Structures are given as C-alpha cells and as structure tokens.
Amino acid sequence: MKVSFANPAAPAKGIAVVFAAEGGKWTSTAAALDKKLKGALKRAAKAADFDGKKKQTMTVLAPGGSSLDRVLCVGVGKPADITAESMAETGGVIYAALKGTGKSAEMHVDDVPRSKLKAADIAANLAYGANLRAYAFEKYKGKEKRDKKPGIDTLSVKCDGSAAARSAYGDLAKVAEGVYYTRDLVSEPANILYPAEFAKRLKRDLTKLGVKVTVLGEAQMKKLGMGSLLSVGDGSARESQMVVMEWNGLPPSKRKNSKPISFIGKGVCFDTGGISLKPAAGMDDMKWDMGGAGVVSGLMMALAGRKAKCHVIGAVGLVENMPDGKATRPGDIVKSMSGQTIEILNTDAEGRLVLCDVLHYVNTKFKPEFMVNLATLTGAIIISLGAERAGMFSNDDKLSDKIFAAGETIGERVWRFPLGEEYDRDLDTAAADMRNIGSGRGAGSIIAAQFLKRFVGDTPWAHLDIAGVTWSKKDTPVVPRGGTAFGVRLLERFVADNYE
C-alpha cells in the first residue's frame, strides 16, 4: 500500500475518512463535511449509535449531489487516552473497514483537543497501523483465487504538519518492512524455506542495508564444537546453518570500543520432533518453528533500515529436525560448544539444543552488553498464557523491566516467569552434565529456560518463549491472520527507548 502525506484539504471525491472523539465530538474536518452534506453524518451517527468510542466505525454512503462515494467515520476514544499505539490500532481498524470498498482513500486528520499527540503524530501512527494490517501472504495463490476483497492500494493522509508526519512515518515504515519480512519468512512452507535458503535470503537482503552477514556451515560449526546444535539436524538431508548479522550505526569515533547488544533466534525450519515423533495432527504448523529466527531477522532489517544509532548482533541457528537412520536417538549424549555434555532424552526438545550453542558463541565472541533470545520453545507456555502474551525469563531485573515496559507501550506484551535452583536441579542426570528435559510434565517452560541459563554465564540475559504468539488464527487490529512477527516491534521499541 502506497502512503502519502499532504496539507489539509476539504474531502472532495472518492472515499473520505474522518474522525470523532468519544461523546460525538467531531473533528473540524468532519464537522465541516457534515455541514456540506447537510447533516448526513450526524443523522447517520444517531441512527447507528456512533459516538466516537475507540475503534468504532460507521460507513455513510454519500448523498446524491456529492462528489464523494462514501465517508468512513472513525472513533478515536477519549482524547486523554490517545497514544501512538492506540492510533496504530485505529489505523488497522480503518484498513479493515475500507477493504473491498475501493482502491484508494483519503484520511483527514485534525488536532484532537486535549490529546497529547499532535495531528502529525496521530496521522503517522494511523498510517503505520493501516500498513501493518494491509499485509497478506498470497504468493502461492493463482491470481483469480487471491482475496476477493482487495485492499486499499493508495492511502492519502491530509493533516497539518504533513512534512513532520511524513518524517515520522518514514521510520515507522522501516519497522513495518521488518515486520513484513518476518511474516514472509514465517509463512513460507518448509520445502521452500530450509536452512540454506533462509541463510541465502538473509545474506542477500540484509547486506543491501549495510548489515555484515556471516554464514557458517556444518564444517565450520563442527570445528567450533557445536555438537548440540548439529545433533538436531543429523536426521535431515538439509545442511544446518548459523547466520551472524552485525549492524553498527554508531558514529565512527564510538565504534572501536562499543559493546554490542545481541539478539538470538531459534530457527527450526521444520520440526517433526525427530525420533520422538510428533502426532500428525497439526504438524503442518511446525513450518513456523523458526519464528524466533524470523523475528531476529526482521528486527535487524528494521534497525538497519531506519539507521538505528546502536551496535547490534543478531544470530540465528537454522536446522531441520527430521527422523532418519542418522538422526539423534533418545539417550544419546552430545557435547556443546561450552564443553558441557547433554543427555538427549527427548529429540522434540530440540530448540534449546540449537540455542545453547548460539548463545555460547555470541557470548564468547562478541562479549555483548546483554543477550535476548526468542524461540517457539514450549507448548507449555501456550497453556500458561494463551495467545495474549509471550513468556519472559531473565537473570537480570533491569533488562526484563525494560522489555516489559516496551511491550506494554506497543501492545506486544510479555509476562515474566520465575527461575530458581529448585528448577535447575531437575536438569541433573547421572550420565552427563545435564539432560534436555525435566523429570516430569510440570514447569516445562521454566525447565527449558533453566537449560538455556546454563549457557549464558553472568551476561544479562532474557529468554522470550513466543510459541503462543507467533501465529494467529484470527485478525487483530494490526495483525491479520497468520504470521504475527510478534517481537519485531517489541524489541525495536526496546532498543529505541534504551540503547540509542
């Protein structure tokens, strides 16, 4: 969808979008248009009980004699409650309401009295939300079978301070590009997006933005001693990969001694469970078991795209977990890059085996200020939190507080779970330094986090279990059904608020 910004002008033709605050308080453009339409908007509002509540919409067909086709009236809620995120969500609602009504629309944004946001900021975030909602993954559909309700192709936003709105939207649009990139990766079928192809795309797409991309194959990882990660891919015909991405947007004078921040993603491009085979029902969902790697990739695109003033490392371990004569068996013992040995009692607890080697690699090579890893790690987190929040585990209160605050601000929310010695002991085993699962069914998500904690040392670290939020079966204001890219906007805001 193409978005443009211009100075205010009276709605003249096509589809016009105007606004009202709660209590039926129309913005100046909406009031002027209602007068021009001889009270048509207010009459329709009375009949439809439209009074400007947050995300409320009402479509009015333009009366005879008007050059307009229709008017979409949208509620912004109480002025004091208007935030950037609420306006982004409203923008997504607007896009959904416009879908199928035409190819273009004009959005007329005015200052809302007693709102903390100026018209330009409101306009930029409305457009941002519409952009996020406009995503669709239809590349494998024939032209005649694509969505029968086509979306808006062009959105023209009219507001005071249009230059400021355009500038603000520029950075937001780069974040949206990162979100789109992640959604594309997560939506791809596993026969198309296998580890080597994933790595190839990152090398191609991120290098263009100034990101240094290094791809390590199995021979290189074997030399590094990554026996844990490599064991997951033993049963696959596809070679495992690790991709390290580095963006340094600091001024040259500050680059030499800069301590990077780092993000690590689980990239299991397909997960059958290995020898510990999953049930057939629902296994097709396992194409998005690389969601953590997808988020790290989209985050790096967003940060590099908007030229973020920070030094960032992104690293992803890319594997395919398949059953085969060469596959890792339950009871096998492998040696991780850290030197710690792992007894693998369940080959379907494979994500932690990938992450532990990548975490150790990043920690020892780059000595980062902190590490944040993301993974569709456990089904247990879905039982705990459903599809509303990601689970967060951390060894550092300050780091976890910052991530939590960013999530509350932009609507990608997390909830912190406990860690502790009593959980850690459940990983002990007589045969090796640790086993990869606990002794029973309880605290599955916590036990997985405790496993990862054994590989981070004293470095501040947070683990985000995104199994419940990576894929959505329903539309939400800024997320259409399918891959959500949960984590890209969260961590982009976390970085912007704290590390630039």
What is residue 464's predicted lDDT score, i.e. its pLDDT?
Answer: 99
Q: How much of the chain is in helix, strand and coil states, percent to nearest 5?
A: 40, 20, 40
Count the residues in the chain.
Answer: 500
Q: What is the average per-residue pLDDT within 128-157?
A: 89
197 and 155 part of one domain: no
pTM over the 0.95 mark? yes
Q: Determine how many CB atoms are found less than 10 A away from the CB of residue 103.
A: 12
Q: Is residue 409 part of a domain?
A: yes
204 and 158 part of one domain: no
What is residue 65's predicted lDDT score, i.e. its pLDDT?
Answer: 82
**At how many degrees (to 10) do helices 119-133 and 84-98 cross?**
50
Whether residue 428 contacts residue 336, with contact meaning beta carbons closer than 8 Å, is answered with no
160 and 247 part of one domain: no
**Alpha helices for 49-194 (secondary structure H):** 84-98, 119-133, 162-187
HSE on the CB side for 123, CA within 13 Å? 32
CA angle 418, 423, 426 (to 5 degrees): 160
Residue 64 pLDDT more than 90? no
Overall number of domains in the chain: 2
111 and 164 part of one domain: yes
User: How confident is the model over 420-437, as pLDDT tens digits?
Assistant: 999 999 999 999 999 999
What is residue 63's predicted lDDT score, i.e. its pLDDT?
Answer: 84
Q: What would you report as the CA-atom Rg of the chain, rounded to the nearest whole angstrom?
A: 25
71 and 203 part of one domain: no
242 and 110 part of one domain: no
Whether residue 200 contacts residue 243, with contact meaning beta carbons closer than 8 Å, is answered with no
98 and 247 part of one domain: no
Residue 155's pLDDT band (cuts 50, 70, 90): very high
Mean of the per-residue pLDDT values of the chain: 97
147 and 201 part of one domain: no
What is residue 420's predicted lDDT score, i.e. its pLDDT?
Answer: 98
Q: What is the average per-residue pLDDT within 147-151?
A: 78
What is residue 363's predicted lDDT score, i.e. its pLDDT?
Answer: 98
Q: Is residue 188 part of a domain?
A: no
Residue 291 pLDDT more than 80? yes
386 and 270 part of one domain: yes
Q: Is residue 184 part of a domain?
A: no
DSSP 278: P
Q: Is residue 168 part of a domain?
A: yes
Torsion of CA 134, 137, 138, 139, to 10 degrees: 120
Q: What is the average per-residue pLDDT within 153-180?
A: 98
Residue 44 pLDDT more than 80? yes
Residue 59 pLDDT more than 90? yes
HSE on the CB side for 140, CA within 13 Å? 6
Q: What is the average per-residue pLDDT within 32-40?
A: 96
What is residue 346's predicted lDDT score, i.e. its pLDDT?
Answer: 98
User: How confident is the model over 74-123, as pLDDT tens digits?
Assistant: 999 999 999 999 999 999 999 999 999 999 999 999 999 999 999 999 99
397 and 449 part of one domain: yes
Q: Which of 36-45, 56-65, 154-163, 414-423 has the lowest mean pLDDT?
A: 56-65
Domain with 264, as residue range(s), is 193-498
167 and 279 part of one domain: no
Among the three residues 123, 143, 174, which one is the final residue of a domain in this structure?
174
Percent above pLDDT 90 for the chain = 96
Q: Is residue 185 part of a domain?
A: no
Q: What is the average per-residue pLDDT within 187-212?
A: 98
Q: Which one from 174, 183, 287, 352 is the annotated catalytic residue?
A: 352
What is residue 169's predicted lDDT score, i.e. its pLDDT?
Answer: 98
Does the annotation count 352 as an active-site position? yes
Residue 181 pLDDT more than 90? yes
What is residue 151's predicted lDDT score, i.e. its pLDDT?
Answer: 87
DSSP 476: B
Angstrom distances, CA of residue 290 to CA of 335, 351, 356: 23, 9, 15
CA angle 461, 463, 466 (to 5 degrees): 160
Where residue 137 sits, what CATH number does that domain have?
3.40.220.10
What is residue 149's predicted lDDT score, i.e. its pLDDT?
Answer: 77
> Per the structure block, which two tokens stand in for 452?
């990862």
> Per the structure block, which two tokens stand in for 392?
């967060």
For 38-41, the CB contacts below 8 A with 24+ separation are: 38/63, 41/71, 41/73
CA dist 64 and 297 (Å) reads: 51
Residue 1 pLDDT more than 80? yes
168 and 278 part of one domain: no
Q: What is the average per-residue pLDDT within 360-377?
A: 98
User: How confident is the model over 381-415, as pLDDT tens digits?
Assistant: 999 999 999 999 999 999 999 999 999 999 999 99
The residue among 257, 216, 224, 234 whose CA lies nearest residue 360 is: 224
Residue 143's pLDDT band (cuts 50, 70, 90): confident
* Residue 295: its H or E element: helix 291-305
Q: Determine how many CB atoms are found less than 10 A away from the CB of residue 124.
A: 32
Q: Which one from 25, 278, 309, 416 is the annotated catalytic residue?
A: 278
Where residue 423 sits, what CATH number does that domain have?
3.40.630.10
Q: Which residues contact 94 (CB under 8 A, 6 or more apart)?
A: 17, 57, 72, 74, 107, 126, 129, 130
Q: Is residue 416 part of a domain?
A: yes
- Burial bucket for residue 241 (CB in 10 Å: 0-12, 13-18, 19+): buried
What is residue 257's predicted lDDT score, i.e. its pLDDT?
Answer: 84
